Amino acid sequence: ILNVEQSPQSLHVQEGDSTNFTCSFPSSNFYALHWYRWETAKSPEALFVMTLNGDEKKKGRISATLNTKEGYSYLYIKGSQPEDSATYLCAFNGDDYKLSFGAGTTVTVRA
């Protein structure tokens, strides 16, 4: 079992504020790092697949960075809105085809 950790486990943010959280993963045998957003009672939705060290990806107000040498990725939410409330999962893909998931960071945006 590969060690993929997400921090913090949960956070509350005021509407309009920005926030970020981390995913740490093994720095060896890196192939890809996935981010998913999981809203309650819905299917997890893919946000990003990141493959290159130094990658930065953006989707609307959400962006992510990747550092494969030190084994971490940050996910940023700019100007949080209530609809951003969800659990954000990261998943590490090593030198096989399988995904190892972190436990998620649950974001609650307060109006």
Partner 1 sequence: GAVVSQHPSWVICKSGTSVKIECRSLDFQATTMFWYRQFPKQSLMLMATSNEGSKATYEQGVEKDKFLINHASLTLSTLTVTSAHPEDSSFYICTGGGLAGQETQYFGPGTRLLVL
Q: Is 53 in the site for partner 1 (CB under 8 A)?
A: no
DSSP string, 1-67: ----EEE-SEEEEETT--EEEEEE--SSS--EEEEEEE-TTS--EEEEEE-STT-EEEETTEEEEEE
Site map for partner 1, 8-47, x if CB under 8 A? Answer: -----------------------xx-x-x----xxxxxx-
> Rounded to the nearest whole angstrom, what is the least distance from the CB of residue 14 to partner 1 in the complex?
26
Task: Report yes or no: 91 and 40 within 8 Å, Cβ to Cβ.
Answer: no
Nearest-CA neighbor of 4 among 71, 98, 51? Answer: 71
Name the token pair of 108. Answer: 């609650």
| Count of residues interacting with partner 1 (CB under 8 A) | 25
Site map for partner 1, 71-110, x if CB under 8 A? Answer: ------------------x-x-x---xxxxxxxx------
Q: Which is nearer to partner 1, 3 or 14 (CB)?
A: 3
Task: Give me the residues that bind partner 1 (CB under 8 A), please.
Answer: 1, 4, 31-32, 34, 36, 41-46, 49, 51, 89, 91, 93, 97-104
